Amino acid sequence: MKTVRIELGDGRAYEDLVGHDVLSQAGTQCRALGLQERCALVYDQALHDTALPRVRDSLTTAGFECVTIAYDRGEAGKRLESVEAIIGHMIEAGLDRGTWVAALGGGVSAEALSTTSVSARRSPRWAATELRQGAMTAAEL
């Protein structure tokens, strides 16, 4: 696995991990970040039978308690109603300030994740992990 550091130009940066079968290594990589035990795994419904089981199994094997939350496939997932539903599921599950969020999917999941973070932000440190085929992005927002 290769680490690529992305400089944002304002003193902030994040890292992309790129490699073979990176999704199955998500638990180990997230554990190395020192994240809390509970996480919300927000995913595109299109990945329910493919990538979701690998990521969820990797995270639970690493000792994380995952609450899985699906959102609509593709462009439909970009609606404000989708973000509202994600936040509602997080509240219903009792997720708290120690919870971190992983977005499984492509650009739509990252957009939903960033919108959700702005809407539901309750603590000064908010960790996000975007998981996609072939790469994993970890950022502290």
Report the C-alpha gap between 73 and 8 in whole angstroms.
29
Bridge partners (DSSP) of residue 6 are 14
Residue 65: domain span = 2-140
- Fill in the amino acid letter for 44: D
Domain count, the chain: 1
Task: Answer yes or no: are the C-beta atoms of 42 and 120 closer than 8 Å.
Answer: no
Q: Which residues 6+ apart lie within 8 Å of 4 measured at CB? A: 15, 16, 17, 18
H/E stretch holding 62: none
| Dist CA 72 CA 94 (whole Å) | 22
* pLDDT tens by residue, the chain, 141 residues: 888 888 888 998 877 888 788 888 889 988 988 888 999 898 888 889 988 999 999 999 999 999 999 988 777 777 788 888 888 898 899 988 778 888 887 666 666 666 666 555 544 344 555 666 555 655 443
pLDDT for the residue 109: 64
**Contact between 26 and 136 (Cβ < 8 Å):** yes
Cα 2 to Cα 18: distance, rounded to the nearest angstrom? 5
How confident is the model at residue 138, as a pLDDT? 52
Q: Angle at which helices 80-92 and 107-120 pack, to 10 degrees?
A: 60
The domain spanning residue 38 has which CATH number? 3.40.50.1970
pTM of the model: 0.79
The per-residue pLDDT for 123 is 42
